[in-house]
Amino acid sequence: MRKQKTKKVIPLEERKEFADSYLYWTSGYTWDELPDVNSLEDYQTLQDIFEACKERRSAAGNPKRQIPNPYADLNNKDHNTDEEIKSTAEDFRESYQDYSKRIPVFLKHLFDLIKNKTNALRILIMIIAFIAAGNVFSKKEYYVFSDYFGYLKVDQDKYVEWKADYKTKDLCKKKKIFNISVGLISAAIVLLLSEFFKKKDDTDLYKPTIEKPSSLQEFAKYYHELGFNIIPIKGDPEGNNVTQDSFKSPYGEWSEYKFNRQPKSYLETIDWEDATGIGAIAGINNLICIDIDGCKKFAIVERIIKSIGLSKSYSWVIRSGSGVGYHIWIKSKNRIDSSSPFFDEPFIKFHPIKKYSNYIKQIELRNFAHVVLPPSVSSIGKTYEFVNMAPTTSPRKIDYEDVIDAIYLFAKA
């Protein structure tokens, strides 16, 4: 015979809680707020308590009271007016637009970085070192299969034992985990080594014996020891005209030193007393100059320096006597290819693209031309000067193609 299930008796102190909760969600009232027509002492089970609640509710005429909405504040117009919602949406839109603008800017900087062939090669070698080292020194984990728990991680000895047994060899699995730490360390080592050899390769044996030249004659020896062919400048205000500035023009015959290294003894034949400046012949020893004219913002020069792969503290940056012209000297690792339209051109003129047309007049790449050096005096009485400290080594070696690519970011030939 089936045993009848007894109903659970609710303790008296808990009956009031059940009654209040039931009445609140069905009528909006509590037990004590409705007519006192019965007592919870007479109702012991949960079903009986619900019946008692119905009796009280019926005696009150089945009243209904609005239950406060706990989420009412979210719809309260005092807190969320149309203006506030619109303002919030505009703020979000602006912040999203600012964020979305950063992505193409980041991609542009990344593209400018890898566009430099030297940088691209370094990044490629770092990636290869990262992947190779991470795989070679990868961590190994060993697993054996269990009918109850699936694959279980075990030590190497257990794995080898199971692998050696032909009955269990198919139940063994080995997992290689890429070693990110070793990969990053290897990439960092490659970067440091590339920087070391780059600096070693870019540093010439040319070292000036004069640490702090003071006169034009000492500056001439200083530049000559750094690999330059030097020509004197004798500026004459009366000799200036519309097409020629004597304070920029070389004095005397200099064509023979355009392609041939100048002997040091030549400097002793120059009358430096009447000279107003010093000029160098670009092209010899692969020394070339980027001549920026009419530059209203030095920040543009800094961008050009950075795009070439040089730092802001690079020594061979010169401000002209006009104050709006800048020269950046570098040493080309290679000469212009004979198939290039620029082959044997004394200088190449580049006109600024629209973005920079209001900031620079033009850029000239001087391959085999004369360029004024500090501390030459200009026609307006101001001197040429180094933007940073005077250099103690020859200009840095840069690929000629990288220089052209960097200039094309700002101007077109």
Residue 93 lies in a domain: no
CB 277 within 8 Å of CB 249: no
Domain endpoint, select from 173, 202, 231: 202
Helix %, strand %, coil % of the chain (to 5)? 45, 15, 40
Residues 197 and 249 in one domain: no
Pick the last residue of a domain from 179, 202, 225: 202
Which one of 162, 179, 202 terminates a domain? 202
Q: pLDDT by residue (tens digit) across 194-239? A: 777 665 555 454 566 777 788 898 999 999 999 899 999 988 766 6
Q: At 396, phi and psi to the nearest 5?
A: -70, 150
Tally of domains in the chain: 3
Same domain, 316 and 394: yes
- Specify whether 150 is located in the same domain as 255: no
Q: Are residues 177 and 287 in the same domain?
A: no
Q: Is residue 322 part of a domain?
A: yes
Question: Would residue 97 count as lying in a domain?
Answer: no
71 in any annotated domain:
no
Range of the domain at 27: 12-59
Mean pLDDT along residues 107-121: 64
Predicted confidence (pLDDT) per residue in 321-361, tens digit: 989 999 999 998 776 555 555 556 788 899 999 989 899 99
Average pLDDT estimate for 31-46: 86
88 lies in a domain? no
Indicate the pLDDT class of residue 26, thresholds 50, 70 and 90: confident
Residue 110 lies inside a defined structural domain of this protein: no
Looking at the structure, do residues 259 and 399 belong to the same domain, yes or no?
yes
Is 290 found in the same domain as 162? Answer: no
Q: Which residue has the higher pLDDT, 274 or 100?
A: 274
Domain assignment present for residue 53? The answer is yes
Checking if the pLDDT of 29 tops 90, the result is no
Please name the amino acid found at residue 90.
E
In a domain, 185, yes or no: yes
Mean pLDDT, residues 286-302? 92
- Residue 386: pLDDT over 90: yes
- What does the mean pLDDT of the chain come to? 80
| 274 and 343 both lie in a single domain | yes
| pLDDT cut 90: percent of the chain above it | 19
- What 8-state DSSP symbol labels residue 147? T
Together in a domain, 369 and 320: yes
pLDDT tens digits, 396-409:
988 888 888 899 99
Alpha carbons within 13 angstroms on the beta-carbon side of residue 70 total: 0
- pLDDT of 174 reads 86
Please indicate, yes or no, whether residues 158 and 244 belong to a single structural domain of this protein: no
Residues 224, 173 share a domain:
no
Confidence of residue 292 (pLDDT cuts 50, 70, 90): very high
CA–CA distance, 337 with 332 (Å, rounded to integer): 12
* Strand bridging mode 397-398 / 326-332: parallel
Query: Do 166 and 244 share a domain, yes or no?
Result: no
The pTM score is 0.54
Same domain? 175 vs 226: no
